Chains A and B, each alone.
Chain A
């Protein structure tokens, strides 16, 4: 067995802390039973962030409209429950299929142009969908949101309870499944070619990587994952409103991914935990001005750098020239 083989095997090996983290995460709705609602929210945002990381962190495609797929998943799941059948798992699969399809279509819009054009195009798609959800009120309930969604029990047995424990377990399980899938993907040759074309598109072409097909695939997959996150939100709250398509949702997502770190799957998860807890904590202290503190935190984080911020003992040392 060559050194190269061993070295690559070592790089993708599961770390000890990962075996600690996931059981703890899955046990958290029970350990912190009074906080199941926020755990549910965190799991949903974390899944949404993992999806954006696949696109932004690994493939290097900037997007300000990732909420388009999240919202599509949310409305698909809610409408499916209302009009077809209330089973959450079937609804989840339906929502993933619909948002994946939307992702495949939208992937054609991100092939040309620069980062700036991509920001505008993705933002535009989300705005179009939001306006559609607003105007098609006979179907979506318009600005009032989609009312009267009743979810059936999970696996026909577990009812969604008021305290959100079932919801939190459901969301955490879906998060874990997609996390495992994404982890597989980013450590594969496919994932490596994505990183390659993020780093240097010119060279990627020169070693025979078909750039367009790679981008179509990852954008489509990420759209499906975002759709799953949206479906979780709609199913665990029995509600969908046009707010799922809003710009602030895409922007917050990018923000928390920057906080957690891009190009690292745990970045999305960490960012979601930090962002949601900060939001919750600061909002409890100063309900009107919490965005001020989030903003300040972000400015400091970016100026100081994540590594230095996490190592306070380096603050007084002189930086290397």
Chain B
């Protein structure tokens, strides 16, 4: 792994009234990283993502992208600088087709988004990139259907394709396989595994299979604070982490407990 830090969170704190949702979080994402962020429900993973992407403003601390302070930058400006996210719950443009969705995203990224006098897809560079993405994400055969008609697995693929259409250097994947039926899962796992090497990825995930097959670095978040960070096998063997998952685990976390066991064996 290269040692260049692309994204860095330093002493991030977020309070909602008296509740501390994020507490002194330090996190470094390296160039080309495959970094997973795990933690039980309510650990503050989504809050952290919202802080990084600018949906929420931190109470304390700062965020650096390529050594530049972006703590107070608007969300769309962070996207322009190369930090892009996907959503745990699909956020798509239902009345548009996958092709139109990608075409507008690529146009926006190439700085053509404000052009009202040219047709969408007038530019060959845009359509070529769309074609490439549609094929890469197995969406070519449904490119002309309205998005609201697509099967869930396809919608999930489009969710990630949109993010890649922004040509991210830093990609935040928020539970990419959440809710994907078994039959459509493999396609999705493959595309996640085939993400461009130079892109630095932060993966927020409940699915421990995916975490331990994908990540080369794991951060464990508990009660808004970093419990520990390390290589996957170290994390899987960590008694503290096991205690968090096995000890405080509610009924909803049985899958993770089982999966973590498997991860530890690997």
Distance in Å from the Cβ of A195 to the closest Cβ of chain B?
A: 6
Does B134 lie within 8 Å of A208, measured CB to CB?
A: no
CB distance from A158 to the nearest CB of B (A): 31
The 4 lowest CB-CB distance pairs between A and B, nearest first, are A8-B121, A208-B79, A192-B104, A189-B107
Q: How distant is B94 from chain A, measured CB to nearest CB, in Å? A: 6
**Would you give the 0/1 interface string for B66-81, flagging 1 where the beta carbon is closer than 8 Å to chain A?**
0000000001110110
Is the pair A192, B100 in contact by a Cβ cutoff of 8 Å?
A: yes
| Contact of B6 with A by CB under 8 A | no
Contact present for A188 and B80 (CB under 8 Å): no
Indicate whether B25 reaches chain A with its CB closer than 8 angstroms.
no
Write out, one digit per residue, whether chain B residues 144-167 have a CB within 8 A of any chain A CB (1) or not (0).
100000000000000000110110
Contact B100 A189 (CB under 8 A): no
Question: Could you tell me if A4 and B166 are in contact, using CB atoms closer than 8 angstroms?
Answer: no
Quick check: A189 and B118 within 8 Å, CB to CB? yes
Shortest beta-carbon distance from A320 to chain B in Å:
14
Give A69 Cβ to nearest chain B Cβ, in Å: 19
Q: Does B16 contact A (CB under 8 A)?
A: no
Beta-carbon contact of B96 and A202 below 8 Å: no
Known: A7-B144, A203-B91, A206-B84. A188 touches B166 (CB 8 A): no
User: Cα distance A26–B149 when bound, in Å?
Assistant: 39
**6 CB-based A-B contacts, threshold 8 Å:** A9-B121, A12-B120, A189-B104, A200-B93, A203-B162, A206-B84
Q: Are B117 and A188 in contact (CB under 8 A)?
A: yes
Q: Which residues of B contact A189 (CB under 8 A)?
A: 103-104, 107-108, 112-116, 118, 120
- Cα(A101)–Cα(B246), bound, Å: 64
Closest residue on chain B to residue A213 by CB atoms? B114
Assembly CA distance A188 to B113 (angstroms): 8
Residue A274 interfacial (CB < 8 Å): no
Residue B91 contacts which of A1, A188, A200, A210 (CB distance < 8 angstroms)?
Answer: A200
A227 near B: Cβ within 8 Å?
Answer: no
Could you mark each residue 4-19 of chain A with 1 if its beta carbon is under 8 Å from any beta carbon of chain B, else 0? 1101110110000000
Complex: how many Å from CA A202 to CA B95? 15
Complex Cα distance, B93 from A202, in Å, reads 10
Q: How far is the CB of B219 from chain A (nearest CB, A)?
A: 22
Partner of B95, one of A195, A208, A210: A195
CA A2 to CA B106, docked complex, whole Å: 15
B265: chain A residues within 8 A (beta carbon): none
Q: A188-B119, A195-B93, A199-B93 are in contact. List 13 more A-B contacts (CB 8 A).
A: A8-B100, A8-B127, A184-B116, A188-B115, A189-B103, A192-B103, A200-B91, A200-B94, A203-B93, A205-B76, A205-B79, A207-B165, A208-B113
Whether B96 pairs with A199 at a CB distance below 8 angstroms is yes
Question: Which parts of A151-202 form the interface with B (CB within 8 Å)?
Answer: 184-185, 187-193, 195-196, 199-200, 202
Interface size range of chain B in the complex: 35 or more
Q: Which residue of A lies closest to B133 (CB)?
A: A4
What residues on B are CB-neighbors of A278 within 8 Å?
Answer: none
CB contacts (< 8 Å) of B143 on chain A: these are: 3-4, 7
- Answer whether residue B62 sits at the interface, using C-beta atoms and an 8 A cutoff: no
Which residues of the other chain, B, contact A200 by a CB distance below 8 angstroms?
A: 91-94
Assess whether B116 is in contact with A207, with CB atoms less than 8 Å apart: no
A263 close to chain B: CB less than 8 A: yes
Task: Tell me the bound Cα distance from A190 to B119 in angstroms.
Answer: 9
Interchain CB contact under 8 A, B115 and A8: no
Specify which of B84, B85, B119 is in contact with A8 (CB 8 Å cutoff). B119
Question: Which residues from chain B contact A12 at a C-beta distance below 8 Å?
Answer: 119-120
Total cross-chain contacts (CB, 8 A):
137
Minimum CB–CB distance from B122 to chain A (whole Å) comes to: 8
- The answer to whether A187 and B92 touch (CB under 8 A), given A7-B144, A208-B108, is no
B53 touches A (CB below 8 Å): yes
* A181: min CB distance to chain B, Å: 9
Tell me whether A8 and B162 are in contact in the complex, defined as CB-CB below 8 angstroms, given that A190-B115, A206-B75 are known contacts: no
Q: Counting CB contacts under 8 A, is A127 at the interface?
A: no
Q: Decide yes or no whether B47 CB sits under 8 A from chain A.
A: no
Query: Within 8 Å of chain A (Cβ to Cβ): is B99?
Result: yes
Note all chain B residues with C-beta closer than 8 A to A8. 99-100, 103, 119-121, 127
Q: A7-B143, A207-B162, A208-B80 are in contact. Are A184 and B117 (CB under 8 A)?
A: yes
Given A4-B99, A196-B93, A199-B96, A206:B131 Cβ within 8 A: no
With both beta carbons as reference points, the residue of chain A lying nearest to B147 in the complex is identified as A199
Cβ proximity bits A208-222 to B, threshold 8 Å, 1 near / 0 not: 111101000100000
How many angstroms between the C-alpha atoms of A57 and B128 in the bound complex?
30
B216 on the interface (CB 8 Å rule)? no
**Do A2 and B127 form a contact, CB below 8 Å, given A188-B115, A191-B116?**
yes
Q: CB distance A203 to B92 under 8 Å?
A: yes
Task: Answer whether A208 and B76 are a contact pair too, CB < 8 Å, given A189-B104, A199-B93.
Answer: yes
Q: Once the chains are docked, how many angstroms separate the CA of A199 from the CA of B107?
A: 18
Most buried by B among A184, A189, A208, A210: A189
The residues of A that contact B109 with a CB separation of less than 8 Å are 207-208
Verify B93–A209 contact, CB threshold 8 A. no
